[in-house]
Amino acid sequence: EVQLVESGGGLVQPGRSLRLSCAASGFTFDDYAMHWVRQVPGKGLEWVSGISWNGGSRGYAGSVQGRFTISRDSAKNSLYLQMNSLRPEDTALYYCARDRGGAGAKGYFDYWGQGTLLSVSS
Amino acid sequence: QSGLTQPRSVSGSPGQSVTISCTGTSSDVGASNYVSWYQQYPGKAPKFMIYDVTKRPSGVPDRFSGSKSGNTASLTISGLQGEDEADYYCCAYAGSYLWVFGGGTKLTVL
């Protein structure tokens, strides 16, 4: 059974940093691109960042470009999102999602975690 | 990149059909067939419903269908059922390893 479990959210002050983690199981992690998608409670989905199967390709939404860094560790079957210079508008539920497109990412998010909540406030 | 445009809400009676549009540009929706749709119930993670514009993953009822014309993709739900009441989101590849979602559409089954 495919499982994605996010962790690392919490309350953080503006300007600080935080790292989110996503532990993957039930599939061959190295065979899939992965993504982070966020959602402000009561609002819509926003694609945040994606990384190819081998980390060779990465992309970021304009709203986080230069502040967030996505990475993955195949030995730990884990996906990460390093978030720096956090802003109140980054407050959201952050989902980890697998890309069904396999190694060639297509943005087909076939499995999602339950999300980890980040709140940026002083 | 800007978000894709979806109607805020649509509604229909049980048994009817509804269509949700998703309008982008020639740089995203119109550029490829990498368009997908998601269903989300309150408090739950989104569910993968449509990919490659028209294809359904295993387990998704054939009442759900997708299409695209130019820069606009559409999700049609036929034979509407009460359990279809949810939020629906489209997503498209915008090039250069970037993706964009629509703002979401709330479907109400009357």
Q: How far apart are CA B4 and CA B53, in angstroms?
A: 15
Owner of token pair 């036929």: B78
pLDDT, averaged across chain A: 95
pLDDT, averaged across chain B: 96
| Contact call for residues A98 and A32 (beta carbons, < 8 A) | yes
| Contact call for residues B28 and B1 (beta carbons, < 8 A) | yes
pLDDT-based confidence at residue B1 (cuts at 50, 70, 90): low
Q: Which of residues 28-67 of B touch A (CB under 8 A)?
A: 34, 36, 38, 40, 45-46, 48, 51-52, 57
Q: What percent of chain A has pLDDT over 90?
A: 93
**Nearest chain A CA: its distance from B2 CA (Å):** 9
Measured from the Cβ of residue A28, the count of other Cβ atoms closer than 10 Å reads: 11
Q: Strand A45-51 relative to strand A58-60: parallel, antiparallel, unpaired?
A: antiparallel
Test mutation, A106, A116, A117, chain B, max B CBs within 10 A: A106
- Nearest to residue A101, comparing CAs of A50, A64, A43? A50
Is A122 a residue whose pLDDT tops 80?
yes
Task: Specify the pLDDT at position A104.
Answer: 72
Q: How far apart are CA B108 and CA B59, in angstroms?
A: 22
Q: Which of B34, B40, B46 sits opposite A107 (nearest CB)?
A: B34
A9-64 pLDDT, tens digit per residue, is: 999 999 999 999 999 999 999 999 999 999 999 999 999 999 999 999 999 999 99
- Nearest to residue A6, comparing CAs of B48, B99, B39, B45? B45
Alpha-helical regions (H) of B36-104? none
Q: How far apart are CA B21 and CA B81, in angstroms?
A: 19
Give residue A89's identity as a one-letter amino acid code: E
Residues 6+ apart with CB under 8 A from B44: none
Q: How far apart are CA A81 and CA A70, in angstroms?
A: 5
Cβ separation B36–A114 shorter than 8 A: no
Longest dimension (CA), chain A: 40
- Nearest to residue B35, comparing CAs of B11, B8, B67, B59? B67
Q: Which of B3, B91, B98 sits opposite A59 (nearest CB)?
A: B98
B56-90 pLDDT, tens digit per residue, is: 999 999 999 999 999 999 999 999 999 999 999 99
Cβ–Cβ contact B103 with A under 8 A: yes
Q: How far apart are CA B108 and CA B47, in angstroms?
A: 18
Is A101 a residue whose pLDDT tops 70?
yes
